[in-house]
Amino acid sequence: MPITALYAALLALLFVLLSVRVIGLRRAVRIGLGDGGDTALLRRVRVHANFAEYVPLCLVLIALAESLRAPAVLLHAMGVLLLAARLSHAYGVSRQPETFRFRVAGMVGTLTVLGSAAALCLYAAARSGG
């Protein structure tokens, strides 16, 4: 599954970056657990957690669609959109004051990938007799 592998690797690098941002701020403000009332830390933690909540299921669905021989152009479109959406969401939520349009664009893009990948899996499974 080379297409899924490509986007999984790129998204993993973004996840590492988000993790390092949380760790760095935790060290700077000396808060080991929770957010300690620090709004900047809360924002970084939520960006990181939101990524962890949505990206794995999106990647599983993209991988399943790829295994069902979905068109490569659709798989790449979903991968690019997911990466762009997660970058947009991270940027929007990380800002104080929050840049709401980037947050919304990120969530709309993520949910579009989630729904599209699910629909593609349903279609491909039905087409293959599953």
| Amino acid at site 82 | L
Tell me the pLDDT tens digit for each residue of 25-71. Answer: 999 999 999 999 999 999 999 999 999 999 999 999 999 999 999 99
Tell me the pLDDT tens digit for each residue of 71-86. Answer: 999 999 999 999 999 9
Task: Give pLDDT, residue 43.
Answer: 95
Give the residue numbers spanning the domain of 91. 2-127
State the CATH number of the domain containing residue 88.
Answer: 1.20.120.550
Cβ atoms within 10 Å of 94's Cβ, excluding its own: 18
Question: What is the average pLDDT score of the chain?
Answer: 96
Q: How many domains does the structure of the chain reveal?
A: 1
Backbone dihedral angles phi then psi of residue 31, each to the nearest 5 degrees: -125, 110
Cβ atoms within 10 Å of 47's Cβ, excluding its own: 22
